[in-house]
Amino acid sequence: MIFRRLLTTIALFLSGCAGTLTGYPSLAKRAVENAPMGEAPAAPAPVEADPALQAQVDRLAGQAQAGSAAFDKAWPAADRAARAAAGAAVSSERWVAAQLAISELEAAQNDSVSALASLDTLYVERSNAVAEGKARGGAEQIDAARKAALAVVDSQNDRIDAIKGRLAQP
C-alpha cells in the first residue's frame, strides 16, 4: 500500500518536471536591451529653501542643543550621587539621593527629547507634503537636524543607562 502511494507520488513529480523542460526562457539579449537609451534625464531644478521651514528647523535644533547643555550641567551631580550610592541597598538614603539626581537628569533631557519628537513629526509631515506634490524639498534639512538631535538623545540615554546600571534595582 505504501509502495503504491510512493510510486504514484514519484510518477506525478517526474511528470511535472518533464513538462518544464521545453519552457525555459532564452537568455539571449532582447532587442529592447540593445536599443539606445535616449536622452539623459534632466537634472532636477534646484529647490528654493523655505525660510519658514528653515526657521522652524533652526528653532528645534537650538532646543535640542539647549537640552544638551542642561543635561551636561546636571550630569556631574547625578554621576557623583550614583557613584556614592553604588552598592547601597534599595531605599537607602544614598540610593534615594541617586534616584533623585537621575530624575533631575532625565528632566534636563526633556528639551532634547521634545525637539527630537517635533523634528520627527515635521519630517513626516514634510515628506507627505512632498509626496502629495504640495511642497518641494526641505525634508533633507529636517532630516539632518533630526539626525543630530537623535545623536544627542542617544548619547544622553546611554549615559543615563550607565548611571542606572551602577545602582541596585528594586
Per-residue pLDDT tens digits for 97-153: 999 999 999 999 999 999 999 999 999 999 999 999 898 889 999 999 999 999 999
What's the pLDDT score for residue 24?
64
The string over 81-118, giving b where at least 16 C-beta atoms fall within 10 Å of a residue's C-beta and e elsewhere, is bbeebeebeeeeebbebbbebbeebbebbebbbbbbeb
Indicate whether 92 pLDDT > 90.
yes
Q: How far is Cα 78 from Cα 105, in angstroms, rounded to an integer?
A: 7
> pTM of the full predicted structure?
0.69
**Residue 36 in domain:** no
**Residue 70 in domain:** yes
Q: Residue 77 phi/psi, 5° resolution?
A: -65, -40
Q: What is the pLDDT of residues 15-35, one digit of tens each?
A: 666 655 556 667 777 777 777
**Residue 122 in domain:** yes
How far is the CA of 168 from the CAs of 1, 103, 124, in angstroms? 68, 16, 40
What's the pLDDT score for residue 45?
54
**Residue 109 in domain:** yes
* Average pLDDT, integer, range 34-58: 73
Confidence tier at 2 by pLDDT (50, 70, 90): confident
**Residue 95 in domain:** yes
Confidence tier at 60 by pLDDT (50, 70, 90): very high
CB-facing half-sphere around the CA of 60: CA atoms within 13 A = 26
What's the pLDDT score for residue 118?
96
Q: How many percent of the chain have pLDDT more than 70?
A: 84
What's the pLDDT score for residue 39?
62
**Residue 17 in domain:** no
SS3 91: coil
C-alpha cell at position 105 = 537628569
What's the pLDDT score for residue 7?
72
C-alpha cell at position 23 = 519552457
Number of domains comprising the chain? 1
What's the pLDDT score for residue 148?
96
114: domain range?
Answer: 51-166
**Residue 86 in domain:** yes
Number of Cβ atoms within 10 Å of the Cβ of 79: 18
**Residue 160 in domain:** yes
The better pLDDT of the pair 42, 128 is held by 128
